[in-house]
Amino acid sequence: MEIIEKIKKYKLTVEQTEIQKICLHKLQSSPLPNPKSELWRLSNKSKFSNFLDFSLNEKDLEFDTPYPNTSQSIIRLVIGENCQTKLIEEDYSIQQLSEEELDKYIKEQISYFDQNENWSNLLNLSLSCKKNILGLKIKGSKIPPIEIFSHASSKSLSAKTLVIFLEKNCNLELLQVNLGKQKSSLSQSTFFFLEENSSLNHGVVSYGKNGSNLLNSLNVIQKSNSAYNLGSLHFKFNYARFEINIKQSEGNAKTNIKSMQITKNDEQISTYTKIDFNGPNGFLDQINKSLADDKSHAIFEGSIIVPKIAQKTDASQLSRNLLLSDLAQIDTKPQLEIIADDVKCKHGATISQLNEEELFYMRTRGITLAEASKLQLSSYFQEIISFIPVSKDRWDLLDKLLNEN
Amino acid sequence: MQSKMKESDPILQVENLFASTDNLPILKGVSLTVYPGEIHAIMGRNGCGKSTLSKIIAGHPSYNITNGDLKFLGQNINSLEPEERAQSGIFLGFQYPIEIPGVSNLEFLRVSTNARRKFLNQEELDTFDFEELVKEKLELVKMDQAFLSRSVNQGFSGGEKKRNEILQMALLEPKIAILDETDSGLDIDALRIVASGIKKISNSRTGIILITHYQRLLDEIEPNFVHVMADGQIIKTGGSDLALELEKKGYEWTDNFVKET
């Protein structure tokens, strides 16, 4: 019950919203994730406990890491800072959801929550105050790319929530950046609802600092003929957990995912994905890459659910992993649950080290071992980075990964 | 490792070299000296140690020198890293050039060339200057510029990979090039292109070691010396006639020679 006590203590000063009360009530029946559950079994207990060690901060201190300059064509939003968002142009409109709309949507989502599967969302919604929930309704065409930031402040726990409705025939490029500060915890929950014929190119870059922690939960509902493309990158967290739940609610939708997590020192970063096909002719192409060095631990668990209704599903899930040290650990478990009998589904996992023959070849051309390793790693990273939309060049992701991490 | 040697001094000296991998002896006392302007051919059955010798000269970390010395421009290089050997002017043309997905050929060639130029105290080339240089060298091996934008050797045919090796040799301007079965997998036209490239790059200040099974490459590039290897040793050395003799007699006699000795 310790976590509940902590949350209650956090809330003494501020009146709880109805959603917070509902989530807190649900958490009371499972105050901590069940450690025996497959979804939490490998989670490092002491690191997870460290996530909850900080006191809740609803008021962000100014973030002293400067965001890279934005170009005029990009819309930039910071959760917790942009209280009013209303952009109506000739071709498109971006409007903030009303409190009623947000409440209704979130309550509906909560009603489907499973305590173990959605524990991170329950925690997020029990902590996230109104100011830190950004809800947007986007429609139209020729929408400029959007960057949305969430960040944690040092020595505190921050909870941010993002809800986006993408209306029919709408195409959007969105980069979500989660920045961790030294010794901080960030709980980020994101909910997307993609209407028919809409398409979202979504990038998630989660970039921590020493001792920062992240619980990042992404929930996507896709209507028919929608396309959802995700490129994601998580690195430099003491403890990070990325949960992806995608539901193709009517089938006939496309999902592409290219995700990567990089761990060093004694970090633990995990990615859990659940792709649920709830109609026929669904498509999924997913690759998850993990790279683990030093004494770190990377985890990937992916499940693809294909019930009887999801005939003609075409799904592929691949887990590719690089183990760079004898003491590093990678756990990977891509899995399929197929009931439908007319589907094309495949999955696979590989774990390897840097290719020694490639390294030797480069060294015989005068390239040092360190440079050769960087070249190999950059090619490994490039596949994912090139899939992350919006301002990936300005963020110098490759440079960060090769030289800072 | 800068040379203060005279032009008539040997480029490479392999002195009674013994080497092993996983405690398995592969080279059992190889001696070979290459002077500037010389072309040496090493022939022998599969598994006789030819490719191993080339990898050991280039510094492959899987092989251990258990006895003997490798000297390049008069200095012992036994303990030098592969990149130090390459930067100082040793080039190994691979029998099976390695594919490196995701690494652009152009960038790979530029980084390699600049590593060698830095060693030679020459100015490093930026992308624009390097493109000029590489275009000129592409002519030597009749390669299209399109190869530069592709990943290193990925999706290249066997002949294209070998031409890419010679392109690298042309850019790095090594003091000595060891070409391991550069002729394997080439059709007659490609063989001529590769051979012509090698001839244009070599000069009176460089040395070349050709490792091959066949006379056909030696028809294009006439060696000064032909060495026959068997069981990790050079068992016979002669002129270009020796290669013709091998073509007629095959390698069976080398087995008998090893048994007798």
Residues from chain B contacting residue A356 (CB–CB below 8 Å): 61-62
Q: Which of B96, B98, B168 to mutate to test the interface with A (most CBs of A within 10 A)?
A: B98
Q: What is the pLDDT of residues B87-96, one digit of tens each?
A: 999 999 999 9
Q: What is the pLDDT of residues A304-346, one digit of tens each?
A: 999 999 999 999 999 999 999 999 999 999 999 999 999 999 9
Q: Which domain holds residue A378?
A: 355-405
In total, how many domains does chain B have? 1
For chain B, say whether A371 makes contact (Cβ under 8 Å). Answer: yes
For chain B, say whether A383 makes contact (Cβ under 8 Å). Answer: yes
CB contact under 8 A, A367 and B83: yes
| Residue B42 resides in a domain | yes
Per the CB < 8 A criterion, the answer to whether A167 and A194 are in contact is no
Q: Pick the residue with more confidence: A229 or A20?
A: A229
Residues from chain B contacting residue A379 (CB–CB below 8 Å): 100-103, 151
Nearest residue, CB atoms, A379 vs list B62, B100, B116: B100
d(CA B222, nearest CA chain A) in Å: 26
CB contact under 8 A, A369 and B81: yes
CB contact under 8 A, A365 and B172: yes
> What is the residue type of B171?
L
Do A26 and A160 sit in the same domain of this protein? yes
For chain A, say whether B87 makes contact (Cβ under 8 Å). Answer: yes
CB contact under 8 A, A365 and B61: no
> What is the residue type of A269?
I
Q: What sign has the CA pseudo-torsion A357, A359, A364, A365? A: positive
| Residue A284 resides in a domain | no
Judged against a pLDDT cut of 50, whether residue A187 lies above it is answered with: yes
Q: Which domain holds residue B218?
A: 12-98+175-260
Q: Which residues, 6+ apart, have CB-to-CB distance to B229 below 8 Å?
A: B30, B42, B43, B44, B48, B49, B50, B53, B235
CB contact under 8 A, B151 and A371: no
CB contact under 8 A, B102 and A364: no
**CATH code of the domain covering residue B68:** 3.40.50.300
> What is the residue type of A195?
E
Per the CB < 8 A criterion, the answer to whether B5 and B73 are in contact is yes
Mean pLDDT of chain A, nearest integer: 89
Q: What is the pLDDT of residues A91-127, one digit of tens each?
A: 889 999 998 999 999 999 898 888 778 999 999 999 8
Judged against a pLDDT cut of 50, whether residue B147 lies above it is answered with: yes
Q: Which of B81, B100, B153, B172 to mutate to test the interface with A (most CBs of A within 10 A)?
A: B100
A110 sits in which H/E element: helix A99-112
| Residue B210 resides in a domain | yes
Judged against a pLDDT cut of 80, whether residue A284 lies above it is answered with: yes
| Residue A387 resides in a domain | yes
Rounded distance between C-alpha atoms, residue A287 and residue B258, angstroms: 54
Edge-to-edge order in the sheet of strand B225-230: B90-93, B176-180, B207-211, B39-44, B225-230, B233-238
Nearest residue, CB atoms, A380 vs list B83, B102, B111: B102
d(CA B130, nearest CA chain A) in Å: 16
Do A359 and A237 sit in the same domain of this protein? no
Rounded distance between C-alpha atoms, residue A66 and residue A352, angstroms: 37
Closest residue, chain A, to B89 (C-alpha): A366
Residue A221 CA from chain centroid, whole number: 15
In total, how many domains does chain A have? 2
For chain A, say whether B115 makes contact (Cβ under 8 Å). Answer: yes
- For B16-23, what is the mean pLDDT? 94
Do A82 and A204 sit in the same domain of this protein? yes
Q: What is the pLDDT of residues B156-210, one digit of tens each?
A: 999 899 999 999 999 999 999 999 999 988 888 889 989 998 998 888 999 999 9
pLDDT of residue A62: 59
pLDDT of residue A392: 58
| Residue A399 resides in a domain | yes
| Residue B41 resides in a domain | yes
C-alpha distances in angstroms, B149 versus A9, A381, B81?
59, 18, 29
Burial (0-12, 13-18, 19+ Cβ within 10 Å), B45 = middle
Using CB atoms and an 8 Å cut-off, which of residues 139-168 of chain B contact chain A? Answer: 151, 168
| Residue B211 resides in a domain | yes
Rounded distance between C-alpha atoms, residue A347 and residue B213, angstroms: 44
Rounded distance between C-alpha atoms, residue B115 and residue B122, angstroms: 10
Residues B178, B183, B184, B187: what is their CA dihedral angle, to the nearest 10 degrees? 160
| Residue A107 resides in a domain | yes
b/e burial code for range A239-265 (CB count within 10 A of at least 16 → b): bbbbbbbbbbbbbbbbbbbbbbbbbbe
| Residue B189 resides in a domain | yes
**Helix, strand, or coil (residue B159):** helix
| Residue B45 resides in a domain | yes
ipTM of the complex in this document: 0.95
CB contact under 8 A, A364 and B82: yes
| Residue A116 resides in a domain | yes
